[in-house]
Structure 1
Protein backbone atom coordinates (compact mmCIF):
# COMPACT_ATOMS: atom_id res chain seq x y z
CA UNK A 1 0.00 0.00 0.00
CA UNK A 2 2.82 2.39 0.81
CA UNK A 3 4.37 1.88 -2.63
CA UNK A 4 1.02 2.52 -4.34
CA UNK A 5 0.53 5.72 -2.37
CA UNK A 6 4.05 6.91 -3.23
CA UNK A 7 3.40 6.33 -6.95
CA UNK A 8 0.17 8.33 -6.82
CA UNK A 9 1.95 11.14 -4.98
CA UNK A 10 4.67 11.19 -7.69
CA UNK A 11 2.02 11.84 -10.35
CA UNK A 12 0.23 14.45 -8.23
CA UNK A 13 3.54 16.16 -7.45
CA UNK A 14 4.57 16.21 -11.11
CA UNK A 15 1.27 17.84 -12.15
CA UNK A 16 1.49 20.37 -9.32
CA UNK A 17 5.10 21.22 -10.22
CA UNK A 18 4.06 21.89 -13.82
CA UNK A 19 1.13 24.10 -12.80
CA UNK A 20 2.87 26.09 -10.07
CA UNK A 21 6.55 26.04 -11.07
CA UNK A 22 8.13 29.51 -11.42
CA UNK A 23 10.47 28.22 -14.18
CA UNK A 24 9.09 28.59 -17.67
CA UNK A 25 10.18 29.76 -21.09
CA UNK A 26 11.46 33.26 -21.62
CA UNK A 27 9.01 35.52 -23.55
CA UNK A 28 9.38 34.79 -27.24
CA UNK A 29 10.91 37.45 -29.51
CA UNK A 30 10.79 35.81 -32.94
CA UNK A 31 8.44 34.03 -35.33
CA UNK A 32 9.21 30.58 -33.92
CA UNK A 33 6.17 30.17 -31.68
CA UNK A 34 5.68 26.99 -33.75
CA UNK A 35 8.51 25.45 -31.74
CA UNK A 36 6.79 26.33 -28.46
CA UNK A 37 3.54 24.79 -29.70
CA UNK A 38 5.33 21.60 -30.79
CA UNK A 39 7.01 21.29 -27.39
CA UNK A 40 3.67 21.79 -25.61
CA UNK A 41 2.06 19.01 -27.71
CA UNK A 42 4.98 16.69 -26.93
CA UNK A 43 4.85 17.59 -23.25
CA UNK A 44 1.13 16.86 -22.88
CA UNK A 45 1.33 13.55 -24.73
CA UNK A 46 4.36 12.28 -22.79
CA UNK A 47 2.93 13.71 -19.56
CA UNK A 48 -0.38 11.89 -20.06
CA UNK A 49 1.45 8.64 -20.83
CA UNK A 50 3.68 9.09 -17.77
CA UNK A 51 0.67 9.67 -15.51
CA UNK A 52 -1.27 6.74 -17.02
CA UNK A 53 1.63 4.29 -16.68
CA UNK A 54 2.50 5.27 -13.11
CA UNK A 55 -1.14 5.26 -11.96
CA UNK A 56 -1.69 1.89 -13.65
CA UNK A 57 1.38 0.57 -11.84
CA UNK A 58 0.00 1.90 -8.54
CA UNK A 59 -3.34 0.20 -9.27
CA UNK A 60 -1.60 -3.12 -10.02
CA UNK A 61 0.50 -2.89 -6.85
CA UNK A 62 -2.69 -2.38 -4.82
CA UNK A 63 -4.99 -4.76 -6.75
CA UNK A 64 -2.60 -7.68 -6.90
CA UNK A 65 -0.97 -7.31 -3.52
CA UNK A 66 -0.31 -10.41 -1.49
CA UNK A 67 -3.31 -11.55 0.52
CA UNK A 68 -3.81 -14.81 2.41
CA UNK A 69 -5.81 -17.30 0.39
CA UNK A 70 -5.21 -15.64 -2.99
CA UNK A 71 -3.20 -17.40 -5.65
CA UNK A 72 -1.50 -15.63 -8.57
CA UNK A 73 -2.58 -16.57 -12.11
CA UNK A 74 0.03 -16.69 -14.87
CA UNK A 75 -1.37 -15.19 -18.10
CA UNK A 76 1.55 -14.04 -20.29
CA UNK A 77 -0.46 -13.12 -23.41
CA UNK A 78 -3.46 -10.94 -24.15
CA UNK A 79 -3.89 -10.30 -27.87
CA UNK A 80 -6.61 -7.70 -27.44
CA UNK A 81 -4.55 -5.68 -24.97
CA UNK A 82 -1.47 -5.91 -27.20
CA UNK A 83 -3.40 -4.53 -30.19
CA UNK A 84 -4.76 -1.67 -28.11
CA UNK A 85 -1.30 -0.79 -26.76
CA UNK A 86 0.19 -0.92 -30.27
CA UNK A 87 -2.52 1.33 -31.72
CA UNK A 88 -2.41 3.88 -28.91
CA UNK A 89 1.41 4.00 -28.99
CA UNK A 90 1.42 4.51 -32.77
CA UNK A 91 -1.10 7.35 -32.55
CA UNK A 92 0.85 9.01 -29.73
CA UNK A 93 4.19 8.81 -31.55
CA UNK A 94 2.64 10.13 -34.77
CA UNK A 95 1.02 13.01 -32.87
CA UNK A 96 4.46 14.00 -31.55
CA UNK A 97 6.36 13.58 -34.83
CA UNK A 98 4.02 15.05 -37.45
CA UNK A 99 3.91 18.63 -36.09
CA UNK A 100 7.71 18.57 -35.82
CA UNK A 101 8.06 17.64 -39.48
CA UNK A 102 6.01 20.65 -40.57
CA UNK A 103 7.95 22.95 -38.26
CA UNK A 104 11.28 21.54 -39.50
CA UNK A 105 10.30 22.27 -43.10
CA UNK A 106 9.63 25.89 -42.12
CA UNK A 107 12.84 25.96 -40.10
CA UNK A 108 15.06 25.07 -43.07
CA UNK A 109 13.15 27.04 -45.73
CA UNK A 110 14.69 30.51 -45.72
CA UNK A 111 12.62 33.41 -47.13
CA UNK A 112 14.04 35.01 -50.26
CA UNK A 113 14.20 38.45 -48.61
CA UNK A 114 16.23 37.30 -45.58
CA UNK A 115 19.37 39.27 -44.74
CA UNK A 116 22.57 37.28 -44.28
CA UNK A 117 24.70 37.44 -41.15
CA UNK A 118 27.72 35.26 -40.49
CA UNK A 119 28.25 34.17 -36.90
CA UNK A 120 31.83 33.14 -36.12
CA UNK A 121 32.47 31.06 -32.98
CA UNK A 122 35.78 30.25 -31.36
CA UNK A 123 36.95 29.54 -27.83
CA UNK A 124 35.41 31.52 -26.20
CA UNK A 125 33.81 34.46 -27.96
CA UNK A 126 31.52 35.48 -30.79
CA UNK A 127 32.26 37.61 -33.84
CA UNK A 128 30.08 38.53 -36.80
CA UNK A 129 30.32 39.48 -40.47
CA UNK A 130 27.76 41.33 -42.60
CA UNK A 131 27.63 42.04 -46.34
CA UNK A 132 28.88 45.50 -47.28
CA UNK A 133 27.52 47.90 -49.86
CA UNK A 134 27.51 45.24 -52.59
CA UNK A 135 25.15 43.06 -50.54
CA UNK A 136 27.30 39.95 -51.00
CA UNK A 137 29.39 38.16 -48.39
CA UNK A 138 32.91 37.34 -49.55
CA UNK A 139 34.25 33.83 -49.22
CA UNK A 140 36.14 32.76 -46.10
CA UNK A 141 38.28 29.85 -44.98
CA UNK A 142 40.25 28.80 -41.92
CA UNK A 143 43.51 29.04 -43.89
CA UNK A 144 43.17 32.84 -43.98
CA UNK A 145 42.71 33.27 -40.21
CA UNK A 146 45.37 35.54 -38.69
CA UNK A 147 45.74 38.46 -36.31
CA UNK A 148 44.82 40.89 -39.06
CA UNK A 149 42.07 38.61 -40.36
CA UNK A 150 40.45 36.82 -37.38
CA UNK A 151 37.39 35.70 -39.36
CA UNK A 152 39.39 34.18 -42.22
CA UNK A 153 37.93 36.36 -44.98
CA UNK A 154 39.49 35.62 -48.37
CA UNK A 155 41.66 38.70 -49.07
CA UNK A 156 41.61 37.94 -52.80
CA UNK A 157 37.83 37.95 -53.07
CA UNK A 158 36.60 41.36 -54.26
CA UNK A 159 33.21 40.75 -52.64
CA UNK A 160 34.81 40.49 -49.20
CA UNK A 161 36.63 43.80 -49.09
CA UNK A 162 33.55 45.78 -48.03
CA UNK A 163 32.20 43.11 -45.63
CA UNK A 164 31.55 44.54 -42.18
CA UNK A 165 33.52 42.95 -39.31
CA UNK A 166 31.90 43.07 -35.86
CA UNK A 167 33.87 41.95 -32.81
CA UNK A 168 33.09 42.21 -29.12
CA UNK A 169 30.21 39.74 -29.05
CA UNK A 170 27.35 42.18 -29.78
CA UNK A 171 25.48 42.52 -33.05
CA UNK A 172 22.45 44.59 -34.08
CA UNK A 173 19.47 43.33 -36.09
CA UNK A 174 16.46 45.19 -37.52
CA UNK A 175 13.06 44.27 -36.10
CA UNK A 176 10.46 42.49 -38.27
CA UNK A 177 12.99 41.58 -40.98
CA UNK A 178 14.02 37.94 -41.55
CA UNK A 179 17.69 37.12 -41.11
CA UNK A 180 19.66 34.03 -42.12
CA UNK A 181 22.55 33.18 -39.80
CA UNK A 182 25.51 31.42 -41.43
CA UNK A 183 27.27 29.60 -38.60
CA UNK A 184 31.02 28.86 -38.61
CA UNK A 185 33.41 27.50 -36.00
CA UNK A 186 37.20 27.70 -36.17
CA UNK A 187 38.12 25.21 -33.44
CA UNK A 188 35.54 22.95 -31.73
CA UNK A 189 31.80 22.38 -31.70
CA UNK A 190 29.78 25.42 -30.65
CA UNK A 191 26.07 26.21 -30.76
CA UNK A 192 24.63 29.70 -31.24
CA UNK A 193 21.52 30.07 -29.10
CA UNK A 194 19.35 33.03 -28.15
CA UNK A 195 16.61 31.64 -25.86
CA UNK A 196 14.07 34.31 -26.81
CA UNK A 197 14.39 33.42 -30.50
CA UNK A 198 13.77 29.66 -29.97
CA UNK A 199 16.22 28.86 -32.76
CA UNK A 200 19.66 27.30 -32.43
CA UNK A 201 22.04 25.17 -34.44
CA UNK A 202 25.38 23.40 -33.98
CA UNK A 203 28.47 25.07 -35.42
CA UNK A 204 30.73 22.36 -36.81
CA UNK A 205 34.39 23.04 -37.76
CA UNK A 206 34.82 22.72 -41.51
CA UNK A 207 31.11 23.25 -42.22
CA UNK A 208 28.72 26.19 -42.63
CA UNK A 209 25.38 25.50 -40.96
CA UNK A 210 22.47 27.93 -40.81
CA UNK A 211 19.25 28.97 -39.12
CA UNK A 212 16.83 31.78 -39.83
CA UNK A 213 14.30 33.78 -37.85
CA UNK A 214 12.44 37.09 -37.83
CA UNK A 215 12.93 39.23 -34.70
CA UNK A 216 9.50 40.44 -33.60
CA UNK A 217 10.31 42.87 -30.80
CA UNK A 218 13.11 45.24 -29.95
CA UNK A 219 15.42 44.62 -27.03
CA UNK A 220 18.76 43.27 -25.91
CA UNK A 221 18.96 39.48 -25.88
CA UNK A 222 21.78 37.29 -24.58
CA UNK A 223 23.46 34.90 -27.01
CA UNK A 224 24.78 31.69 -25.45
CA UNK A 225 26.85 28.73 -26.54
CA UNK A 226 24.61 25.68 -26.10
CA UNK A 227 27.32 23.08 -26.83
CA UNK A 228 30.04 22.31 -24.29
CA UNK A 229 33.22 23.71 -25.85
CA UNK A 230 35.88 23.74 -23.12
CA UNK A 231 36.74 25.15 -19.73
CA UNK A 232 35.36 28.65 -20.38
CA UNK A 233 32.15 27.44 -22.03
CA UNK A 234 29.84 29.16 -19.47
CA UNK A 235 31.46 32.51 -20.27
CA UNK A 236 31.00 32.30 -24.06
CA UNK A 237 28.26 34.88 -24.19
CA UNK A 238 27.29 37.82 -26.33
CA UNK A 239 24.28 39.97 -27.17
CA UNK A 240 21.87 40.42 -30.05
CA UNK A 241 20.27 43.86 -29.99
CA UNK A 242 17.09 44.24 -32.02
CA UNK A 243 16.31 47.83 -33.05
CA UNK A 244 14.19 49.80 -35.49
CA UNK A 245 15.36 50.05 -39.10
CA UNK A 246 16.67 53.64 -38.81
CA UNK A 247 18.81 52.85 -35.77
CA UNK A 248 20.09 49.71 -37.48
CA UNK A 249 21.26 51.69 -40.53
CA UNK A 250 23.01 54.17 -38.26
CA UNK A 251 24.79 51.32 -36.48
CA UNK A 252 25.90 49.83 -39.82
CA UNK A 253 27.58 53.11 -40.82
CA UNK A 254 29.75 52.92 -37.69
CA UNK A 255 31.22 49.47 -38.48
CA UNK A 256 34.60 48.81 -40.08
CA UNK A 257 34.84 47.08 -43.44
CA UNK A 258 37.21 44.13 -43.80
CA UNK A 259 39.59 46.29 -45.84
CA UNK A 260 39.69 49.00 -43.16
CA UNK A 261 39.93 46.43 -40.39
CA UNK A 262 42.91 44.66 -41.97
CA UNK A 263 44.69 47.96 -42.60
CA UNK A 264 44.09 49.17 -39.03
CA UNK A 265 45.28 45.85 -37.58
CA UNK A 266 48.49 45.87 -39.64
CA UNK A 267 49.48 49.48 -38.85
CA UNK A 268 51.15 48.73 -35.45
CA UNK A 269 53.24 45.96 -37.03
CA UNK A 270 54.23 48.29 -39.88
CA UNK A 271 55.32 51.05 -37.52
CA UNK A 272 57.32 48.52 -35.47
CA UNK A 273 59.09 47.27 -38.62
CA UNK A 274 59.98 50.86 -39.61
CA UNK A 275 61.71 51.42 -36.28
Structure 2
Protein backbone atom coordinates (compact mmCIF):
# COMPACT_ATOMS: atom_id res chain seq x y z
CA UNK A 1 0.00 0.00 0.00
CA UNK A 2 2.83 2.39 0.81
CA UNK A 3 4.24 1.93 -2.70
CA UNK A 4 0.84 2.58 -4.29
CA UNK A 5 0.40 5.79 -2.29
CA UNK A 6 3.93 6.90 -3.22
CA UNK A 7 3.23 6.36 -6.94
CA UNK A 8 0.00 8.36 -6.76
CA UNK A 9 1.78 11.20 -4.97
CA UNK A 10 4.57 11.18 -7.59
CA UNK A 11 2.03 11.45 -10.41
CA UNK A 12 0.14 14.31 -8.72
CA UNK A 13 3.36 16.18 -7.88
CA UNK A 14 4.73 15.74 -11.42
CA UNK A 15 1.57 17.06 -13.08
CA UNK A 16 1.38 20.03 -10.70
CA UNK A 17 5.06 20.83 -11.23
CA UNK A 18 4.57 20.80 -15.00
CA UNK A 19 1.89 23.50 -14.81
CA UNK A 20 3.36 25.70 -12.06
CA UNK A 21 7.08 25.35 -12.83
CA UNK A 22 8.88 28.68 -13.34
CA UNK A 23 11.34 26.98 -15.75
CA UNK A 24 10.11 26.85 -19.33
CA UNK A 25 11.27 27.66 -22.84
CA UNK A 26 13.19 30.86 -23.44
CA UNK A 27 11.21 33.34 -25.61
CA UNK A 28 11.55 32.24 -29.21
CA UNK A 29 13.59 34.40 -31.60
CA UNK A 30 13.14 32.56 -34.90
CA UNK A 31 10.47 31.27 -37.24
CA UNK A 32 10.51 27.76 -35.75
CA UNK A 33 7.32 27.82 -33.67
CA UNK A 34 6.61 24.38 -35.12
CA UNK A 35 9.44 22.95 -33.03
CA UNK A 36 7.74 24.19 -29.86
CA UNK A 37 4.49 22.61 -31.05
CA UNK A 38 6.30 19.32 -31.74
CA UNK A 39 7.79 19.30 -28.25
CA UNK A 40 4.35 20.00 -26.78
CA UNK A 41 2.91 17.01 -28.65
CA UNK A 42 5.70 14.82 -27.27
CA UNK A 43 5.14 16.10 -23.72
CA UNK A 44 1.41 15.45 -23.91
CA UNK A 45 1.83 11.89 -25.21
CA UNK A 46 4.67 10.88 -22.87
CA UNK A 47 2.96 12.65 -19.96
CA UNK A 48 -0.28 10.78 -20.55
CA UNK A 49 1.62 7.47 -20.71
CA UNK A 50 3.52 8.34 -17.51
CA UNK A 51 0.29 9.10 -15.65
CA UNK A 52 -1.57 6.07 -17.02
CA UNK A 53 1.21 3.55 -16.33
CA UNK A 54 1.92 4.72 -12.79
CA UNK A 55 -1.75 4.93 -11.84
CA UNK A 56 -2.31 1.47 -13.29
CA UNK A 57 0.57 0.09 -11.22
CA UNK A 58 -0.85 1.75 -8.10
CA UNK A 59 -4.31 0.33 -8.88
CA UNK A 60 -2.86 -3.15 -9.50
CA UNK A 61 -0.96 -3.04 -6.18
CA UNK A 62 -4.14 -2.15 -4.31
CA UNK A 63 -6.51 -4.41 -6.27
CA UNK A 64 -4.30 -7.49 -6.27
CA UNK A 65 -2.57 -7.12 -2.92
CA UNK A 66 -2.07 -10.23 -0.88
CA UNK A 67 -5.08 -11.43 1.09
CA UNK A 68 -5.27 -14.60 3.22
CA UNK A 69 -6.96 -17.44 1.36
CA UNK A 70 -6.59 -15.93 -2.15
CA UNK A 71 -4.26 -17.22 -4.86
CA UNK A 72 -3.14 -15.50 -8.06
CA UNK A 73 -4.13 -16.96 -11.41
CA UNK A 74 -1.19 -17.65 -13.74
CA UNK A 75 -1.80 -16.47 -17.30
CA UNK A 76 1.45 -16.48 -19.31
CA UNK A 77 -0.06 -15.15 -22.57
CA UNK A 78 -2.92 -12.89 -23.61
CA UNK A 79 -3.06 -12.34 -27.39
CA UNK A 80 -5.88 -9.84 -27.05
CA UNK A 81 -4.02 -7.73 -24.47
CA UNK A 82 -0.74 -7.93 -26.40
CA UNK A 83 -2.39 -6.89 -29.66
CA UNK A 84 -4.10 -3.95 -27.99
CA UNK A 85 -0.92 -2.74 -26.32
CA UNK A 86 1.02 -3.07 -29.58
CA UNK A 87 -1.59 -1.05 -31.46
CA UNK A 88 -1.74 1.70 -28.84
CA UNK A 89 2.07 1.88 -28.64
CA UNK A 90 2.35 2.09 -32.42
CA UNK A 91 -0.15 4.94 -32.62
CA UNK A 92 1.68 6.81 -29.85
CA UNK A 93 5.11 6.44 -31.49
CA UNK A 94 3.78 7.52 -34.89
CA UNK A 95 2.06 10.53 -33.30
CA UNK A 96 5.39 11.58 -31.74
CA UNK A 97 7.63 10.92 -34.75
CA UNK A 98 5.48 12.20 -37.63
CA UNK A 99 5.47 15.90 -36.59
CA UNK A 100 9.24 15.79 -35.98
CA UNK A 101 9.93 14.30 -39.41
CA UNK A 102 7.74 16.94 -41.04
CA UNK A 103 9.51 19.79 -39.23
CA UNK A 104 12.95 18.29 -39.95
CA UNK A 105 12.16 18.05 -43.67
CA UNK A 106 11.16 21.72 -43.66
CA UNK A 107 14.18 22.73 -41.57
CA UNK A 108 16.76 21.42 -44.06
CA UNK A 109 15.07 22.81 -47.19
CA UNK A 110 15.92 26.50 -47.14
CA UNK A 111 14.38 29.22 -49.33
CA UNK A 112 16.39 29.93 -52.46
CA UNK A 113 17.08 33.52 -51.43
CA UNK A 114 18.51 32.57 -48.01
CA UNK A 115 21.78 34.12 -46.90
CA UNK A 116 24.54 31.49 -46.65
CA UNK A 117 26.75 31.22 -43.57
CA UNK A 118 29.29 28.50 -42.91
CA UNK A 119 29.78 27.50 -39.27
CA UNK A 120 33.14 25.90 -38.46
CA UNK A 121 33.41 24.07 -35.15
CA UNK A 122 36.70 23.17 -33.53
CA UNK A 123 37.73 22.18 -30.03
CA UNK A 124 36.69 24.51 -28.46
CA UNK A 125 35.69 27.51 -30.54
CA UNK A 126 33.42 28.74 -33.30
CA UNK A 127 34.33 30.47 -36.57
CA UNK A 128 32.16 31.64 -39.46
CA UNK A 129 32.45 32.28 -43.21
CA UNK A 130 30.26 34.29 -45.59
CA UNK A 131 30.38 34.27 -49.39
CA UNK A 132 31.77 37.42 -50.98
CA UNK A 133 30.36 39.53 -53.80
CA UNK A 134 30.16 36.49 -56.12
CA UNK A 135 27.64 34.84 -53.77
CA UNK A 136 29.56 31.56 -53.70
CA UNK A 137 31.67 29.94 -51.04
CA UNK A 138 35.11 28.82 -52.14
CA UNK A 139 36.35 25.23 -52.02
CA UNK A 140 37.75 24.03 -48.69
CA UNK A 141 39.77 20.94 -47.91
CA UNK A 142 41.59 19.51 -44.91
CA UNK A 143 44.80 19.59 -46.99
CA UNK A 144 44.81 23.37 -46.70
CA UNK A 145 44.07 23.54 -42.99
CA UNK A 146 46.68 24.84 -40.58
CA UNK A 147 46.93 26.97 -37.48
CA UNK A 148 47.07 30.07 -39.65
CA UNK A 149 44.36 28.86 -42.06
CA UNK A 150 41.66 27.18 -39.93
CA UNK A 151 39.03 27.29 -42.71
CA UNK A 152 41.16 25.23 -45.10
CA UNK A 153 40.33 27.31 -48.18
CA UNK A 154 42.01 26.45 -51.46
CA UNK A 155 44.16 29.47 -52.39
CA UNK A 156 43.87 28.55 -56.09
CA UNK A 157 40.06 28.69 -56.10
CA UNK A 158 38.94 32.09 -57.44
CA UNK A 159 35.52 31.76 -55.79
CA UNK A 160 37.10 31.67 -52.34
CA UNK A 161 39.21 34.80 -52.67
CA UNK A 162 36.41 37.14 -51.66
CA UNK A 163 34.95 34.88 -48.95
CA UNK A 164 34.52 36.81 -45.70
CA UNK A 165 36.21 35.11 -42.73
CA UNK A 166 35.03 35.69 -39.17
CA UNK A 167 37.81 34.38 -36.94
CA UNK A 168 35.74 35.06 -33.85
CA UNK A 169 32.94 33.32 -31.89
CA UNK A 170 30.58 36.24 -32.58
CA UNK A 171 28.19 35.91 -35.51
CA UNK A 172 25.98 38.75 -36.76
CA UNK A 173 22.74 38.03 -38.66
CA UNK A 174 20.19 40.36 -40.28
CA UNK A 175 16.70 40.56 -38.79
CA UNK A 176 13.89 39.00 -40.80
CA UNK A 177 16.08 37.43 -43.48
CA UNK A 178 16.27 33.64 -43.97
CA UNK A 179 19.72 32.22 -43.28
CA UNK A 180 21.14 28.84 -44.29
CA UNK A 181 23.75 27.53 -41.86
CA UNK A 182 26.27 25.10 -43.36
CA UNK A 183 27.89 23.21 -40.50
CA UNK A 184 31.40 21.79 -40.64
CA UNK A 185 33.66 20.30 -37.97
CA UNK A 186 37.44 20.41 -38.01
CA UNK A 187 37.97 17.63 -35.49
CA UNK A 188 35.21 15.87 -33.50
CA UNK A 189 31.43 15.83 -33.25
CA UNK A 190 29.95 19.19 -32.20
CA UNK A 191 26.43 20.62 -32.15
CA UNK A 192 25.42 24.20 -33.03
CA UNK A 193 22.61 25.29 -30.72
CA UNK A 194 21.06 28.67 -29.95
CA UNK A 195 18.17 27.98 -27.51
CA UNK A 196 16.14 30.98 -28.67
CA UNK A 197 16.31 29.75 -32.28
CA UNK A 198 15.10 26.26 -31.28
CA UNK A 199 16.65 24.63 -34.36
CA UNK A 200 19.95 22.80 -33.82
CA UNK A 201 22.17 20.39 -35.73
CA UNK A 202 25.27 18.21 -35.31
CA UNK A 203 28.57 19.11 -36.96
CA UNK A 204 29.88 15.78 -38.24
CA UNK A 205 33.56 15.45 -39.25
CA UNK A 206 33.94 14.71 -42.95
CA UNK A 207 30.55 16.03 -44.03
CA UNK A 208 28.51 19.24 -44.20
CA UNK A 209 25.16 19.36 -42.39
CA UNK A 210 22.71 22.24 -42.68
CA UNK A 211 19.53 23.89 -41.51
CA UNK A 212 17.93 27.29 -41.95
CA UNK A 213 16.09 29.85 -39.87
CA UNK A 214 14.79 33.39 -39.97
CA UNK A 215 15.68 35.58 -36.96
CA UNK A 216 12.51 37.29 -35.75
CA UNK A 217 13.78 39.64 -33.05
CA UNK A 218 16.93 41.58 -32.39
CA UNK A 219 19.21 40.74 -29.50
CA UNK A 220 22.32 38.95 -28.33
CA UNK A 221 21.88 35.18 -28.05
CA UNK A 222 24.37 32.64 -26.75
CA UNK A 223 25.70 29.83 -28.95
CA UNK A 224 26.21 26.52 -27.19
CA UNK A 225 27.80 23.25 -28.22
CA UNK A 226 25.14 20.69 -27.36
CA UNK A 227 27.34 17.63 -27.99
CA UNK A 228 30.00 16.48 -25.54
CA UNK A 229 33.19 17.24 -27.50
CA UNK A 230 36.02 16.96 -24.97
CA UNK A 231 37.39 18.42 -21.79
CA UNK A 232 36.72 22.02 -22.88
CA UNK A 233 33.16 21.34 -24.07
CA UNK A 234 31.59 23.57 -21.41
CA UNK A 235 33.63 26.51 -22.67
CA UNK A 236 32.72 26.19 -26.37
CA UNK A 237 30.46 29.22 -26.52
CA UNK A 238 29.79 32.14 -28.77
CA UNK A 239 27.13 34.74 -29.54
CA UNK A 240 24.70 35.55 -32.33
CA UNK A 241 23.90 39.23 -32.71
CA UNK A 242 20.63 39.81 -34.57
CA UNK A 243 20.37 43.38 -35.88
CA UNK A 244 18.84 45.37 -38.71
CA UNK A 245 20.21 44.80 -42.18
CA UNK A 246 22.18 48.06 -42.37
CA UNK A 247 24.01 47.30 -39.13
CA UNK A 248 24.67 43.75 -40.30
CA UNK A 249 26.25 44.89 -43.58
CA UNK A 250 28.28 47.47 -41.69
CA UNK A 251 29.69 44.74 -39.44
CA UNK A 252 30.31 42.41 -42.39
CA UNK A 253 32.32 45.11 -44.16
CA UNK A 254 34.77 45.21 -41.24
CA UNK A 255 35.62 41.50 -41.57
CA UNK A 256 38.59 40.46 -43.77
CA UNK A 257 38.27 38.50 -46.99
CA UNK A 258 40.32 35.36 -47.58
CA UNK A 259 42.55 37.24 -50.02
CA UNK A 260 43.34 39.84 -47.35
CA UNK A 261 44.50 37.14 -44.93
CA UNK A 262 47.00 35.68 -47.38
CA UNK A 263 50.66 36.71 -47.17
CA UNK A 264 51.54 39.43 -49.66
CA UNK A 265 53.83 37.12 -51.66
CA UNK A 266 51.13 34.46 -52.01
CA UNK A 267 48.49 37.00 -53.01
CA UNK A 268 50.79 38.49 -55.64
CA UNK A 269 51.62 35.06 -57.07
CA UNK A 270 47.95 34.16 -57.33
CA UNK A 271 47.16 37.46 -59.07
CA UNK A 272 49.88 36.79 -61.67
CA UNK A 273 48.60 33.23 -62.18
CA UNK A 274 45.11 34.53 -62.92
SS in structure 1 opposite 2:27? coil
SS in structure 1 opposite 2:263? helix
Gaps spanning 5+ residues in structure 2: where?
267-274
* Correspondence for 1:233: 233
Once residues 89 and 147 of structure 1 are traced to their aligned partners in structure 2, the CA distance between those partners, rounded to angstroms, is 52
Work out whether residues 149 and 262 of structure 1, in 8 Å CA contact, stay in contact via their aligned partners in 2. Answer: no
Residue deviations 1:149-176, cap 9 Å, x none? 2211111000111111111200100011
Gaps spanning 5+ residues in structure 1: where?
267-275
Residue deviations 1:88-137, cap 9 Å, x none? 22221221122122112101211111111011111111111101111111
The alignment's C-alpha RMSD in Å is 1.8
- Misfit runs of 4+, over 6 Å: none
Once residues 107 and 46 of structure 1 are traced to their aligned partners in structure 2, the CA distance between those partners, rounded to angstroms, is 24
Deviation at 1:74, TM superposition (A): 2.3
Once residues 79 and 229 of structure 1 are traced to their aligned partners in structure 2, the CA distance between those partners, rounded to angstroms, is 47
**Pair 1:248-2:248 in alignment:** yes
* Correspondence for 2:64: 64
Deviation at 1:236, TM superposition (A): 0.6
* Correspondence for 1:125: 125
Aligned length: 267
Work out whether residues 130 and 163 of structure 2, in 8 Å CA contact, stay in contact via their aligned partners in 1. Answer: yes
Deviation at 1:139, TM superposition (A): 0.8
Work out whether residues 193 and 201 of structure 1, in 8 Å CA contact, stay in contact via their aligned partners in 2. Answer: yes
Residue deviations 1:225-269, cap 9 Å, x none? 1111111110010001010111111111111111112238x9xxx
After TM superposition, the structure 1 stretch with the greater mean CA deviation from structure 2, 119-128 or 100-109, is 100-109
Once residues 80 and 119 of structure 2 are traced to their aligned partners in structure 1, the CA distance between those partners, rounded to angstroms, is 55
Once residues 131 and 102 of structure 1 are traced to their aligned partners in structure 2, the CA distance between those partners, rounded to angstroms, is 30
* Correspondence for 2:85: 85
* Correspondence for 1:187: 187
* Correspondence for 2:112: 112
* Correspondence for 2:269: none
Work out whether residues 148 and 262 of structure 1, in 8 Å CA contact, stay in contact via their aligned partners in 2. Answer: no
SS in structure 1 opposite 2:262? helix
Work out whether residues 109 and 211 of structure 2, in 8 Å CA contact, stay in contact via their aligned partners in 1. Answer: no
Compute the TM-score of the two structures, normalised by the length of structure 2: 0.92
Work out whether residues 123 and 230 of structure 2, in 8 Å CA contact, stay in contact via their aligned partners in 1. Answer: yes
